Amino acid sequence: MKRAKFNTVKRILCYTSPYRSRLIAAMICALLYVVLNLTAPILIGDAIDHIIGQGKVDFSEVAQLLLMTAVSVLACAFFRWLMGIFINAAAYFTVRDMRRDVFRKFNSVPLRYIDNHPHGDLISRIINDTDSVGDGLLQGITQLFSGLVMIVCTLGFMLFINPYIALVVVVITPLSMFVAAFITRISQKMFREQSKTQGEISSYVEEYVGQQKIVKAFRHEKISQKEFEAIDERLRVCGQKSQFYSSLANPCTRFVNGLVTAAVCILGAVSTINGNLSVGQISVFLTYANQYTKPFNEVTGVVPQLQSAMAGADRIFEILDEKSQIPDGKNSVDMEKCQGKIDINNVSFSYVPEKKLITDFNLHIRPGQRVAIVGPTGCGKTTVINLLMRFYDVTKGSICIDDVNIKNIKRNRLRSLYGMVLQDSWLYNASIRDNIAYGKPDANMEEIKAAAREAYIDHFIERLPNGYDTIVTEQGANLSQGQRQLICIARVMLCKPPMLILDEATSSIDTRTEMKIQEAFNDMMQGRTSFIVAHRLSTIKEADVILVMKDGNIIEQGNHQELIAKQGFYYHLYHSQFRS
């Protein structure tokens, strides 16, 4: 456990190393701040000694000491302010780098990792947990370093004034450290649970806010409210416990420090009576005793933030430690031309090892063929697409394009060979022009308009107030589902890839527009190998080959007329859609 904490702290410090100059500057400022802060009590003590005794007040000396004290206090405040600037800069740059690495990691981990983790939890890690690390870094470095310097310097001054009273302070003060350490061990567990529950509640909110229409349509508001309140209550309980235990540290250490002050007062009074200390020195000693114990209070006061930062850092490093997808091999091919010949040989695949999905799958496609994939839900249609795009790697067997194994083709190049239109359209917060040009950012306006015309959406776009510069809101909320789908189709038509994948591409489009889009697809599919996944079997009559899948295997294969003539599974599936 201690080893894990040490490694976490070490990794956080590695992120701060590029900003070492700012940290060193902050430490120098902290040192000057402490020295000047400790100079003021000595000056005030001397001033007190110059006003004791009737008729013995040295006004000129007192005025000079007070002026020096004012300069010391102002300089102390300046260096404290400067230290905060340097610490803030180092902390914010560190959090920025950490967020960049996490986001970069999201782009390099296998898609399986993203699919298997709640998206709200991943969002919470990149936002909330990095913020916790930043806050802990700010508080930790500021309080710990300046506190440590304060303790060492104050102790040195006290030993110089009176070593016996200083030793009493040193003996009693460590009790507050033991108390704080004991409470920290108890509260650390609760802070981990708190971070975990925060990720859970973020995931729940992200899911339900994004699907509010479905929630309302099925009258699920009360149930979802109860589920949210249950998670929220767990967060309240663990948050309350973590804050309660950690908040015990500060009053407990203050109690111990009160004992230190009382001991200094008693021993100082006795020493003054015996003539070993002046009144001014007692004043200095009491100030130093308070300043000596103050860093312990400050450190224990930021324990909750430090623990929250550690818990957040652990969750961040969990993502960063996740294995990235297998990189492209040194001999990977950057396939420039593609005829579209595809061979799937003895492929087996399953998302979960204990649950088989596709076994010994074989398929051979000639260049330019239109291949339709049909079958009941869960039969493996979309899985085949995932394997072709290499979103997932096959467990067994091979997939080849033009006799080249796709594992030997660079991923970016492989995916650029396909134009993909999914059932779930995705648009991002940018102009319509940028959304159409998503796959070809360097496309000119004429190319973008031509693609929009081919997708039969140019008239709609031109009627908008800002035309192609109209901003699409998050997830395309200001467009209808059919309009979003047409923009995604235009996006593919702009790229003109050598192969096409149409996964329920026209499912959200009205029948009349679908007929026009189908004509555009027919033109675009000329000479291109195309995969068409469809539930509406009327859209795949013209396919060269229809694959009928069930339980991860091809059970029938042929064109529409051949499969109807067989009167098998496809025959019954087709007629079930057109039964009067």
pLDDT tens digit sequence for 31-42: 888 888 888 887
DSSP codes joined into one string, 140-158? HHHHHHHHHHHHHHHHHHH
Helices (H), 107-220: 111-115, 119-124, 130-161, 163-172, 174-210, 212-217
Tokens of 468: 């192609």
The C-alpha atoms of residue 233 and residue 331 are separated, in whole angstroms, by: 55
* 543 alpha-carbon distance from chain centroid: 44
Degrees to nearest 5, angle at CA 171 with 167 and 172 = 120
pLDDT tier at 534, thresholds 50, 70, 90: confident
> What residue ranges define each of the domains in the chain, with the CATH number in brackets?
16-320 (1.20.1560.10), 342-577 (3.40.50.300)
Residue 464 phi, psi (nearest 5): -70, 150
Is the sign of the CA dihedral 488, 113, 105, 97 positive or negative?
Answer: positive
Q: Which two tokens stand for residue 77?
A: 């405040």
Secondary structure (DSSP) of 493-547 = HHH--SEEEEESTTTTS-HHHHHHHHHHHHHHHTTSEEEEE-S-GGGGTT-SEEE
Condensed to tens digits (0 to 9), the pLDDT of residues 337-387 reads 888 889 989 888 888 877 778 888 888 888 888 888 888 877 778 888 888
**488-498 pLDDT per residue, tens:** 888 888 888 88
Q: Per the structure block, which two tokens stand in for 25? A: 């500057």
Contact 440, 495 (CB under 8 A): yes
pLDDT band, very low/low/confident/very high, at 300 (cuts 50, 70, 90) = low
Separation CA 174–CA 293 (nearest Å): 10
Neighbours of 222 (CB within 10 A): 8
User: Edge-to-edge, what's the strand order for the sheet holding 396-401?
Assistant: 358-365, 342-349, 396-401, 404-405
List the 545-550 sheet strands across, edge first. Answer: 418-421, 499-503, 529-533, 370-374, 545-550, 553-558
Distance of CA 423 to the CA centre of its chain: 27
Residue written as tokens 């400050």? 298
Strand partners, 106: none
Task: Write the pLDDT tens digit of every residue in 236-264.
Answer: 888 888 878 777 777 777 777 777 778 77
Q: Exposed (0-12), middle (13-18) or buried (19+): which is 100, by Cβ within 10 Å?
A: exposed
Sorting pLDDT into bands at 50, 70 and 90, what band is 578?
low
Alpha carbons 165 and 157: distance in angstroms, whole number: 12
On the question of pLDDT at 579 being above 60, the answer is no
3-state secondary structure labels for all residues of 377-442: CCCCHHHHHHHHCCCCCCCEEEEEECCEEHHHECHHHHHHCEEEECCCCCCCCCEHHHHHHHHCCC
pLDDT of 524 > 80? The answer is no
326: which residues sit within 8 A by CB, 6+ positions away? Answer: 393
The DSSP element (H or E) to which 365 belongs, if any, is strand 358-365
Q: Please write the tens of the pLDDT for every residue from 85-106.
A: 888 888 888 889 999 999 988 8
- pLDDT tens-digit map of 212-228: 767 777 777 888 888 88
Q: Taking the model in full, what pTM does it have?
A: 0.70
What is the reported pLDDT for 580? 45
195 compared with 571, residue with greater pLDDT: 571
